[in-house]
Amino acid sequence: MNEEEKSIQNLTAYKPHLETISKKGIALIGVLLLFILFGVVCLYTQVAKGHVVTGMRDNVVWGLYIVNFIFFIGISYAGALISGILHLLRVPWRTPIIRMAEMITVISTMIGPSYILLCIGRLDRLPNIALFGRIQSPIIWDVIAITTYLSGSIIFLYLAMIRDMALLRDNPVKTAKWRNPIYKFLSVRYNDTTKQKELLNVSTDLLSIVIIPLAILVHSVLAWIFGMTLRPGWHSTIFAPYFVVAAVYSGTGVLIMVMWIFRKVYHLEAQITKIHFNYLGIIMIILGALYGYFTFSEYLTSWYGSIKWDMEVLFRLFSPGEYLIEFIFAVFIGVLVPIIIVTVPKFRNINSIAFAATIAVFALWVKRYLIIIPTLESPLLPIHDLRPEYVHYSATWVEWGLTFAGIAMFILLFYLFSKFVPIIPVVRTGEEKDYSRLRKVVFEKQMKKAIKENKKGDTITTGIVILLMLVASSGAMAQDDTQVQTVLKLEYFHVDSLQSLTGTLLSRQEGRYQPLEGMEINFKLMQGGTEKSIGSALTNEKGKVAMAIPEEVLATGGDKGLYTFSASFMGKDKYGKSSGATTMKPLKMEMSFFQKEQEKMADLKAFEQDKDGKWVPVEGLEVQFYVPRTFSLLKVGKGKISGGAASLEFPTHIPGNALGYLTLMAKVEDNEVYGNVEVSGTINWGKPLPPVKVIKRGLGDTDAPLWMVYTLIVLLSLVWFHYMYVIYTVFRIRHLGKQ
Amino acid sequence: MAKKNKKDSTRRNFLKQGFTIAAGSLLGGGLIAACTKEQGPVATGEKVKVLTADGKLMEVDRGHAMCCNVPSSADVRKGIPGRHFVMVVDLTRCRNARACVKACSKMHFLAPGQEWIKVFLMQDSEDTTPYWMPKPCFHCDTPACVNVCPVGASFKRDDGLVLVDNERCIGCKFCMAACPYSSRVFNWKAPDNQVDAKYSPMTGVPQKVGTVGKCDFCPDSFLTGILPDCVTACPNGVYFFGDKNEDVVTNGVESFRFSDLVKDKAAYRYMEELGTQPNVYYLPPVDRRFPVEEGFESVPDSSKAAYQVKRAHLKKYKI
C-alpha cells in the first residue's frame, strides 16, 4: 500500500465524522450554546451595570478572568511547543496528534485574550491602545506578542492542513457540500509535486522554528505583567520561566485530555494509541517535575528570606482557613499524582494517564488562582474595610458564567472544527513510514469494524451560582424654612498702593458658620453722620467680596484722620440681613533695599497722618516680615518701627526665581488703628533656582527607552518576515499548481 | 457645584466690578518663583488687580501676572513649570478625625466607600506603638503606575504630580496592581450624583464608570494659591503642602521651610526601599498629641472591627 492509498484510506475512515452528525452531537452543540448564551447574558450584565457585578474590588482588582486568561494562554502551548518541537525533532509518532495540538493552540489563543477584555472597564476605549499605546507597558507587550503568536499559530495550523485540503478537494464531502469550494480554495492547487512538497516542508520547518521562541516569549510577557509589579508573590525573577513550564505542563495535559475524548467519541483507537499516551505522559511528568521544582524553588526562596510581605502571602497559602487545601491540590497533588500514575507501570494505562492529565490541568488552573488572588488580598498597606468583598475575593455568578461560557466555546469550536477538517491529519508524509508500519495491524483490525457513531454521551457539568444583589436607596434631605442668621465681617487691607475692603458673609446655622455665595454686599463710607456709597459686589464661594477704595474717598481727610467704612447685606431668601464696620487710620509704608558692605538689608519706612493731614513718621508699630510663597507666607522676621523706620537683614538663603528675584513683604496685621497694611519689594538677592532640567523618567516617560523600541522592532520584523515568507511560499505553491 | 463653575462665578463678580482680573494668576513670591524665563520678572508698569486666596485685593504688575498663565490644555500633562509639589504629613498630629477623607470625597464626588485619602492604623511590629497614618497618593517621582499604563492615561508631570486622565483610561486596572501603596480606586459602577462639568485631569470630576481615580493634590486650585482640600480641612494641621523649589510647606496656618522641617524632624518616605521616590514625607509619630485610642472616636462602633490589625505577623491591636 503506497502513501496515497493510505491517505485515502485514512480519509475514508474519518469521513463519516465530516459528513454526519449524531443526535448526541447536536445535543452537545445545544448544551454548549446554552452555556454560551448564559455567558452572553453575563457579559451584558457586566457591560450594563459595570464591573460591580463581578467579585473584583479595589484590592483584588483581577479575578477569575485573569486566571482564565493565563490558563487558556497556558494550554495554547500544546500546539506551539509540542507540535513545534516534535516536528523539528521528526518524532515519528507525532502525526496523529499534531492537528489536535495546533487546534488547541489556535482556539485557546482566541479565547484567552477575550478574558483580558472582560477585565477592561471601558471596552469602548480599546482604540486608545492603538492611538496612545506605550510600549513600556507590559500590557502592550502582551497585545503585540499574543496577536503575533495567534497569527503564527493560524498559519502553522493551515500549513499542516494543506495536504488534507487537497485530499478533500479530490474526494469531496457528500453532505453540506458548500464546504467543497472552501476545501478547494484552501488547498491552493496543491498536487503533491516534488517542488510543492519541498516548499511546504521548508515553510513548515521554518515556522516551527519561529513559533517555539515566540511561544516562550508570549508566556514570559504574560508572567512579566505580574513580575514587573512590586507585589509580594509576583515580583520574582523566575516568574517567566516558571509560567512557561507551568504552561507547557497544562498544555500537554489538555492535549492528553483532548486525545482521550476524541479517541472515545470518534473511535480513533487505531490512530491514537497507547504509545501516544505513554510518550506524552512521560513528557507531561517531566514538565510536571520541572513545574514542581520551580514551585519549590519559588516558595523556598521567599520562605527562607522571610520578608514580611512575602510571609504574609505564604501564611495565606498555608492557613487552613484560607488557601491550604487549594495549595495542597495545586502543588502536591497536581505534581505527585501524575508522576506516580505515569511512572508506576501498574497504574499506567490510557485512562489513568488521561486522569493524571485532568488532575494536572485542574491543579494548574487552581495554581493560577493561587498566584493571582492571595497576592492581591495582601497589599503592603492594611485593608481597613468591613465590606467582605473588599477584603476577600469571591467570584460572582457573572464571572463563573463567563468562565463556563469560555470553556463551552472552546469545546464548541473544537467540535465544529473537527466536523470541518479531519482532527487527525489524513495525509501521511514519507518520514513517518516506520511508525505507520508499527500501527498497521491495529489499523486494519479497526477498519473491519467500520466506523460507528459514538455510544457514550457527553456529560456536561453544570454549576451556576446565583447571587442576589440588594440595591439600597437613600432618602432625601429635609429642609427647613426658618430664617437664617448671617454674619458680615469687614476688613480693611492696604496692599502696596491699593487700599480695599474685604467683606466675609457667613450664615450661622446650628452653631456652624457656612460661607454664602452670590450675595450682594454694599460698601459705604461713614463720615460725620452721612453715608457715601462706594459700590456693591457679589460674594464668591468662600463668602468673600472685595472692593477697592477709590483714591478720592481717602483724599477727604476723614474724621480727624480716621475713616469708618461699613458693609451691609440686605438679606435674601431665608437669609437675614447683617452688616459690619471697620475704622482705620491710613498708614503709608515704603520698602527699599540697600547694601552695607557685606550685609544686604531691607529698609522699611512708615508714615501716618497727623491732625493736620501731614504725613509724619510712625513710632512703636509692630511689623512682620514675610516671604510670600504659593500657598502661604513664610515668616522671616519681625521688627518694631522706631522713628518711622525698621530694617531687616535680607533672607538671602531663601530660593527666589531663576535669577534669584525674591519678594519681601512687610505686614502690619489686624492693627486696631491701621487695619491690615502690607508693602512688598522684589530684588534679586534670593537664592537663584537652578535651571529647569528636562527630567528623564525612563519608563515613566511618554517615549519608551530606545533599546526597548529597537528590541521590539527587531523581534517583530524577524517574526513577521518569516510569516510573510511562509505566506509567499503558499502563493508559490498555488502558482506551481497552475502549471 | 463643580470647582470650575465656582471659579467662573468668582470671575463674574470681579468683571462686574470693572476690575481687570488676571484670573488664576499666582500671587506674591509664588508668582515670581514661577517665572523661570531667563529675564526674570519684567515689569511692564501696567498694574492689574488680582484676588488672593484669602479674599483680599492686590495690585500686581501685569508682567508678573502674565508670566504664569493658566496652563493650556497641552500643559495639563506637563504641569506648572519650575514647580515641584511636595507634601509633609505630621504623624504626631493625626487623630483619625477623618475630616480630610470627607472633604476629599465631597470635593471629588467620590462614590460612598471610595476614599482617595485613607487613614491607616499602623503598627510596625508587635512591641512598637500603633499610630494613625493618613495616606494620599504619594505622587512618586518614579511611579510604578505610570510605567505600566498602556495608554498613558496615568502620567507624571514635571511639577511632580501624577494625574489620571479618566477620559483616556481604558480601565485595565494594571496601575492598581502596580501601585504598592493601594492609592488607586476603581469606579466599579456608574457613579451617582456627578456634576455636569467639563472633565479635566486637574479637577478629576466628574468620575466615570470603568475608570481609575486617585488623589490628585487638587492642582486646579494651585494657580490661585489655594491648598488641597485635605490640607485645609484637617482640624489638626497634619498636612503640610508646598513647592519644594520654593522650599516652603504650609498647613494653612503654619509655614515651615521644607528643608528645615524635613531635616529637624527626621522625615522619612514610606517604604523608601521600593525605589518609587514618593513626594510625600512623613514626620515620625514621636510625642504624639493624641493617644491612639482617640482616633476611634470618629469611627462608628460598627466599623471598629475593621481596624483589627489582621496581619499574621502582628498581634491584634485591642480596641
Could you please state the CATH topology (level 3) that the domain comprising A485-584 is classified under. Immunoglobulin-like (2.60.40)
Structural element, H or E, at residue B133: strand B131-135
Q: Which of residues 193-232 of B touch A (CB under 8 A)?
A: 208-212, 222, 225-227
CA-atom Rg of chain A in angstroms: 41
Probe site for chain A from B107, B125, B173 (most A CB atoms < 10 A): B173
Q: Tell me, what's the pLDDT at B19?
A: 36
Averaged pLDDT, B73-98: 87
pLDDT digits (tens, 9 = 90+) for A77-104: 877 777 788 888 888 888 888 889 989 9
Q: What is the grid cell recorded at B108?
A: 471629588
Tell me which residue of A304, A299, A294 sits closest to A323, measured CA to CA: A299
Helix, strand and coil percent figures for chain A, each rounded to 5:
55, 20, 30
Tell me which residue of A296, A141, A23 sits closest to A715, measured CA to CA: A141
Mean model confidence pLDDT for chain B: 78
Eight-state DSSP code of residue A642: B
Q: Is B41 an 8 Å CB contact of chain A?
A: yes
Q: Is the pLDDT of residue B8 over 50?
A: no
Q: Is the pLDDT of residue B39 over 70?
A: no
Q: What is the grid cell recorded at A248?
A: 507547557
Q: Tell me, what's the pLDDT at A370?
A: 96
pLDDT digits (tens, 9 = 90+) for A454-473: 333 333 322 322 222 222 22
Q: What is the grid cell recorded at A514?
A: 457656612
Q: Is the pLDDT of residue B155 over 90?
A: yes
Residue A109, by phi and psi: left (phi above 0), alpha (psi -120 to 50) or beta?
alpha
Q: Is the pLDDT of residue A478 over 60?
A: no
Q: Is A657 an 8 Å CB contact of chain B?
A: yes
Distance between CA atoms of A608 and A614, rounded to whole angstroms? 8
Probe site for chain A from B4, B13, B27 (most A CB atoms < 10 A): B13
Complex ipTM, two decimals? 0.81
- In our burial notation (b when 16+ CB lie closer than 10 A, e otherwise), range B116-135 reads bbbbbbbbeeeeeebbbbbb
Q: Where in chain A is the domain with CATH 2.60.40.10?
A: 485-584
Tell me which residue of A598, A623, A618, A595 sits closest to A607, measured CA to CA: A618
Q: Tell me, what's the pLDDT at B131?
A: 92
Pairing mode of beta strands B154-156, B162-164: antiparallel
User: Between chains, do B276 and A548 touch, taking CB under 8 Å as contact?
Assistant: no
Tell me which residue of A554, A489, A674 sits closest to B55, measured CA to CA: A489
Closest-approach residue (CA) in chain A for B300:
A386
Tell me which residue of B201, B154, B144 sits closest to B178, measured CA to CA: B144
Pairing mode of beta strands B118-122, B131-135: antiparallel
Distance between CA atoms of A341 and A250, rounded to whole angstroms? 16
Q: Is the pLDDT of residue B233 over 50?
A: yes
Percent above pLDDT 70 for chain A: 92
Q: Is B120 an 8 Å CB contact of chain A?
A: yes
Q: Is the pLDDT of residue A110 over 80?
A: yes
Distance between CA atoms of A84 and B149, rounded to whole angstroms? 34
| Chain position carrying cell 501676572 | B65
Distance between CA atoms of A31 and A411, rounded to whole angstroms? 11
Percent above pLDDT 90 for chain A: 42
> Which residues on A lie below 8 Å from B150 (Cβ)?
129, 133-134, 137, 139-140, 143
Q: Is the pLDDT of residue B316 over 50?
A: no
A155 pLDDT band (50/70/90 cuts)?
very high
Angle at A113 between CA A255 and CA A84, to 5 degrees: 40
> Which residues on B lie below 8 Å from A131 (Cβ)?
151
Q: Which of residues 470-509 of A touch B (CB under 8 A)?
A: 491, 493, 495-498, 500, 502, 504
> Which residues on A lie below 8 Å from B35 (Cβ)?
657-658, 661
User: Between chains, do B247 and A654 touch, taking CB under 8 Å as contact?
Assistant: yes
Q: Where are the beta strands (DSSP E) in B39-127?
A: 47-51, 57-61, 85-90, 118-122
Q: Is A126 an 8 Å CB contact of chain B?
A: yes
Q: Is A544 an 8 Å CB contact of chain B?
A: yes
Q: Other C-beta atoms within 10 Å of A26: how many?
A: 10
> Which residues on B lie below 8 Å from A380 (Cβ)?
180-182, 271
- In our burial notation (b when 16+ CB lie closer than 10 A, e otherwise), range A574-603 reads ebbebbbebbbbbbebebeeeeeeeebebe
Q: Tell me, what's the pLDDT at A263?
A: 92
| Chain position carrying cell 524665563 | B37
For A485, phi then psi, to 5°, come to: -70, 145
Q: Which residues contact A641 (CB under 8 A, 6 or more apart)?
A: A604, A606, A617, A618, A619, A620, A621, A623
Averaged pLDDT, A710-722: 94
| Chain position carrying cell 486566571 | A67
Q: Which of residues 63-92 of B touch A (CB under 8 A)?
A: 81-83
Averaged pLDDT, A464-489: 49
Q: Tell me, what's the pLDDT at B231?
A: 94
Among the ranges given (A213-227, A333-347, B182-196), the one the predictor scored with the smallest mean pLDDT: B182-196
Return the CATH architecture of domain A3-471+709-738: Up-down Bundle (1.20)
Contact B239, B85 (CB under 8 A): no
Q: Tell me, what's the pLDDT at A286?
A: 94
> Three-state DSSP class for A625?
strand
Distance between CA atoms of A651 and A686, rounded to whole angstroms? 7
Of A134, A229, A630, nearest to B177 by CB-CB distance is A229
Q: Is the pLDDT of residue A512 over 70?
A: yes
User: Between chains, do B247 and A655 touch, taking CB under 8 Å as contact?
Assistant: yes
Q: Is the pLDDT of residue B125 over 80?
A: no
Q: Which residues contact B89 (CB under 8 A, 6 or more apart)?
A: B133, B134, B238, B239, B240, B280, B281, B282, B283
Instruction: Tell me how close the Cα of B243 comes to any Cα of chain A, in angstroms.
Output: 8
Of A50, A657, A700, nearest to B142 by CB-CB distance is A700
Eight-state DSSP code of residue B165: -
Closest-approach residue (CA) in chain B for A235:
B178
> Three-state DSSP class for A501?
strand
Instruction: Tell me how close the Cα of A542 comes to any Cα of chain B, in angstroms.
Output: 8
Instruction: Tell me how close the Cα of A696 comes to any Cα of chain B, in angstroms.
Output: 10
Contact A142, A120 (CB under 8 A): no
> Which residues on A lie below 8 Å from B34 (Cβ)?
630, 657
pLDDT digits (tens, 9 = 90+) for A311-358: 889 988 988 888 999 999 999 999 999 999 999 999 999 999 999 999
Among the ranges given (A16-30, A364-378, A425-439, A686-700), the one the predictor scored with the smallest mean pLDDT: A425-439
Probe site for chain A from B57, B120, B181, B223 (most A CB atoms < 10 A): B57
| Chain position carrying cell 489655594 | B226
Query: For chain B, what are the domain ranges?
Result: 3-70, 85-283
Q: Is A62 an 8 Å CB contact of chain B?
A: yes
Residue B237, by phi and psi: left (phi above 0), alpha (psi -120 to 50) or beta?
left
Distance between CA atoms of A409 and A104, rounded to whole angstroms? 12
Q: What is the grid cell recorded at A135?
A: 510600549
User: Between chains, do A143 and B150 touch, taking CB under 8 Å as contact?
Assistant: yes
CATH, domain range B85-283 = 3.30.70.20
User: Between chains, do B226 and A58 touch, taking CB under 8 Å as contact?
Assistant: no
> Which residues on A lie below 8 Å from B6 (Cβ)?
517, 540-541
Distance between CA atoms of B122 and B136, rounded to whole angstroms? 15
Q: What is the grid cell recorded at A494?
A: 492696604
Task: State CA A628 to chain mean position distance.
Answer: 43
pLDDT digits (tens, 9 = 90+) for A554-591: 777 777 778 888 899 988 888 888 888 888 888 888 88
Closest-approach residue (CA) in chain B for A391:
B306
Distance between CA atoms of A59 and A372, rounded to whole angstroms? 12
> Which residues on A lie below 8 Å from B186 (Cβ)?
51, 57-58, 61, 121
Q: Answer with the residue of higher pLDDT: A319 or A33.
A: A33
Averaged pLDDT, B240-245: 92
Q: What is the DSSP string of B272-305?
A: GGG----SEEEE---S-SS-GGGGGGGS-GGGGG
pLDDT digits (tens, 9 = 90+) for B201-228: 888 888 999 999 999 999 888 877 889 9
Contact A374, B297 (CB under 8 A): no
Q: Is A624 an 8 Å CB contact of chain B?
A: no
Mean model confidence pLDDT for chain A: 85
Q: Is B170 an 8 Å CB contact of chain A?
A: yes
Q: Tell me, what's the pLDDT at A563?
A: 86
Q: Answer with the residue of higher pLDDT: B47 or A637.
A: A637
Q: Other C-beta atoms within 10 Å of A257: how many?
A: 19
Pairing mode of beta strands A544-548, A498-509: antiparallel
- In our burial notation (b when 16+ CB lie closer than 10 A, e otherwise), range B36-52 reads beeebbeeeeebbbbbb
Q: Is the pLDDT of residue A44 over 80?
A: yes
Q: Tell me, what's the pLDDT at A52?
A: 92
Q: Which of residues 660-679 of A touch B (CB under 8 A)?
A: 661-663, 665, 676
Whole-number Cα distances in Å, B272 to B143, B260, B268, B282:
13, 20, 8, 11
Instruction: Tell me how close the Cα of B93 comes to any Cα of chain A, in angstroms.
Output: 20
User: Between chains, do B148 and A139 touch, taking CB under 8 Å as contact?
Assistant: yes
In words, the CATH class of domain A587-683 is mainly beta
Q: What is the grid cell recorded at A371?
A: 498566584
Distance between CA atoms of B118 and A214, rounded to whole angstroms? 43
Contact A417, A103 (CB under 8 A): yes
The alpha-helical segments, DSSP class H, found in A187-333 are: 194-227, 239-265, 274-305, 308-318, 324-327
Q: Tell me, what's the pLDDT at A391?
A: 86
Contact A334, A367 (CB under 8 A): yes
Q: What is the DSSP string of A559-575?
A: BTTBEEEEEEE--BTTB
B198 pLDDT band (50/70/90 cuts)?
confident
The alpha-helical segments, DSSP class H, found in A498-584 are: 551-554
Please list the residues that pair with A579 across neighbouring strands: A568
Q: Is B143 an 8 Å CB contact of chain A?
A: yes
Q: Is A230 an 8 Å CB contact of chain B?
A: yes
Of B37, B170, B208, nearest to A128 by CB-CB distance is B170
Instruction: Tell me how close the Cα of A513 comes to any Cα of chain B, in angstroms.
Output: 14
Distance between CA atoms of A330 and A394, rounded to whole angstroms? 18
| Chain position carrying cell 511546504 | A200
Contact A519, A573 (CB under 8 A): no
Distance between CA atoms of A593 and A647, rounded to whole angstroms? 9
Instruction: Tell me how close the Cα of B225 comes to any Cα of chain A, in angstroms.
Output: 5
Pairing mode of beta strands A485-495, A498-509: antiparallel
Q: Tell me, what's the pLDDT at A127?
A: 94
User: Between chains, do A631 and B6 touch, taking CB under 8 Å as contact?
Assistant: no
